[in-house]
Chain A
Amino acid sequence: MSLTGRTLPKFDRFYCDGYDLSGYSRTIGPLEQVYDEHDLTADMGDTVKGYLPGHLQSNVGVLNAVFDNTATIGLHALMATAGAMRTIVVARGIRAAPAAGDPAFCGQFVHKGYQPDGSSGAAYATLPFSGMAANAATLQYGAWGVLLHENAVRLVGSGANTGSGVDNPAGKQTTHGGFFIYEVLAGDGAATLSVDNSASVGSGFSALSGATSGSIACAAGVSGVVALAPTATVKQYLRWQIAFGAATTVTFVSCFVRGFGIEP
């Protein structure tokens, strides 16, 4: 019995709107995926109560962080204004820093509060979220996906990604779309981030249609979501991809959340 998949929250990383806030973060969660249960019992015909799932409540929970007013990149500078939609990736490392293939909880969530608190002596901040934003591009999908590119720099000289890709935990291609999400943490010009897919591990990769950022000006604070149609085919293996324009260096995180037919 090989149990290599257990981990601890200290290996989580929190990315928001193109910034890595892990250095301030203490806890995040619960990472909630709960469906309304509708009782569809036919009282005269059914022996036992039966249910069907309705709408999904998808929420990243509450971020508890160390209060920090560092200029430009500090928690206070970036998150003090609540009430906006935030593009978030919570990457879960498996007993190590997150790497490609690890799970990631992703989406665009409503940031509803920012509450510094010094009652324990230390100055912390609590940042609650209320759920998926009603205008989110991710509204058709759940939030659990896979990390394609961990927080790392790519240089123009490195060329395109020729890696073997990451497998779908379900071990097959899916035909229910999904969404591509990216967080650019640093960069110096234009580049295009995207996703490749393949039916085979290590070969046969081609661009996943529609899963591209288009040319974006890469710099800290850039993030985005590109949702595919709910009927799009996504092959079994995925990998990150980058095409450099004027940029020579880009540091980014990218993920893909696959639909499993749960969504409409």
Chain B
Amino acid sequence: MSLTGRTVTKFWRIGIDDVNGTPREVPFDTISPVGFQYDEVELTAWQDQVKGYLTAHPDAAIDFGGPFDTTASVGFAVSAATPALSGSHTVLYPINGLQTPLAFAIHIGIRAFWATNDPVFGVIAASATSGYLLTKYTVDGEKYSARVVPFPGTVPAWGTAIIT
């Protein structure tokens, strides 16, 4: 049994469009569960012996946070490269509350810096009708906390390609 797919969070990367639509990587040290969480609708009838459910709509909001940082923005590192971090404050405060969808994706490197074909969740290329919105940017002491939610009609997905 080969168990080569396990990893740790130091190889995770957050990619998010800045106010100009350019992907940036911001520092973070906490993140909520990534992926879909479906509403469960219980449809059990009295005559059933076991409770039964169907899944309704999933939610894909993501909360994350980390060090407040005003470092100037730099380009998102390419596949397999060392992360290139832009300042969290530099990137996040101008996009908070924006009504235009942004690319946002979590890149999960597998025991190495993230590389193409490693898992990615989110929206890697925003359009006028698809992407994420930042709805929270709060600073407390030396840390920030933030939250992104899908723009209406957006379908985030698991994939293996880098944010663009």
Chain A residues engaging chain B, CB cutoff 8 angstroms: 1-9, 27, 29-35, 37, 40-43, 45-53, 56, 61, 92, 94, 102-103, 105, 142, 144, 169-172, 260-263
CB-CB under 8 A from B136, the residues of chain A are 33-35
- Chain B nearest CB, measured from A47 CB (Å): 5
Interface stretch of the complex, out of B7-15, B44-52, B138-146:
B138-146
Closest to A169 in B: B90
Contact of B95 among A1, A40, A260 (CB under 8 A): A260
Residue-by-residue, is B69-87 near A (CB-CB < 8 Å gives 1, otherwise 0)?
A: 1111100000000111101
A7:B142 contact, CB within 8 angstroms: yes
CB-CB under 8 A from A94, the residues of chain B are 70
CB-CB under 8 A from A34, the residues of chain B are 135-138, 147
Closest to A105 in B: B139
CB-CB under 8 A from A51, the residues of chain B are 61, 133, 135, 149-152
Chain B residues engaging chain A, CB cutoff 8 angstroms: 18-20, 27, 36, 57-61, 67-73, 82-85, 87, 89-90, 93-99, 133, 135-142, 145, 147, 149-156
A41:B57 contact, CB within 8 angstroms: yes
Known contacts A1-B85, A27-B141, A41-B57; decide if A6 and B69 are in contact (CB<8 Å): yes
Contact of A33 among B27, B59, B87, B138 (CB under 8 A): B138
Which residue of A31, A42, A263 has the most chain B CB atoms within 10 A of its CB atom? A31
- Chain A nearest CB, measured from B27 CB (Å): 7
CB-CB under 8 A from A48, the residues of chain B are 36, 57-60, 150, 154-156
Known contacts A50-B150, A142-B97, A260-B95; decide if A5 and B89 are in contact (CB<8 Å): yes
B93:A40 contact, CB within 8 angstroms: no
A262:B71 contact, CB within 8 angstroms: no
Which residue of B71, B135, B145 has the most chain A CB atoms within 10 A of its CB atom? B135
A30:B138 contact, CB within 8 angstroms: yes
Which 3 pairs, one residue from A and one from B, show the smallest C-beta to C-beta distance? Answer: A50-B152, A5-B70, A5-B71
Q: In the complex, what distance in Å separates the CA atom of A56 from the CA atom of B93?
A: 13
Q: In the complex, what distance in Å separates the CA atom of A7 from the CA atom of B141?
A: 9
Known contacts A144-B93, A260-B19; decide if A31 and B154 are in contact (CB<8 Å): no
B19:A35 contact, CB within 8 angstroms: no
- Chain B nearest CB, measured from A168 CB (Å): 9
Q: In the complex, what distance in Å separates the CA atom of A50 from the CA atom of B135?
A: 12
CB-CB under 8 A from B19, the residues of chain A are 170, 260
CB-CB under 8 A from B67, the residues of chain A are 6
CB-CB under 8 A from A35, the residues of chain B are 96-97, 135-136
CB-CB under 8 A from A61, the residues of chain B are 140
CB-CB under 8 A from A49, the residues of chain B are 57-60, 150
Which residue of B36, B61, B150 has the most chain A CB atoms within 10 A of its CB atom? B150
Assuming A31-B138, A260-B98, A262-B98, what are 20 further A-B pairs, CB within 8 angstroms?
Answer: A3-B69, A3-B71, A3-B85, A4-B71, A5-B89, A5-B90, A32-B138, A37-B61, A45-B153, A47-B155, A48-B36, A48-B57, A48-B150, A48-B155, A50-B152, A51-B149, A102-B70, A144-B93, A144-B137, A171-B20
Q: In the complex, what distance in Å separates the CA atom of A105 from the CA atom of B140?
A: 12
CB-CB under 8 A from B149, the residues of chain A are 37, 50-51
A6:B82 contact, CB within 8 angstroms: no
Which residue of B67, B70, B98 has the most chain A CB atoms within 10 A of its CB atom? B70
CB-CB under 8 A from A172, the residues of chain B are 20
A40:B152 contact, CB within 8 angstroms: yes
A1:B83 contact, CB within 8 angstroms: yes
CB-CB under 8 A from B155, the residues of chain A are 47-48
CB-CB under 8 A from A46, the residues of chain B are 57, 152-153
B69:A31 contact, CB within 8 angstroms: no
Q: In the complex, what distance in Å separates the CA atom of A172 from the CA atom of B21?
A: 13
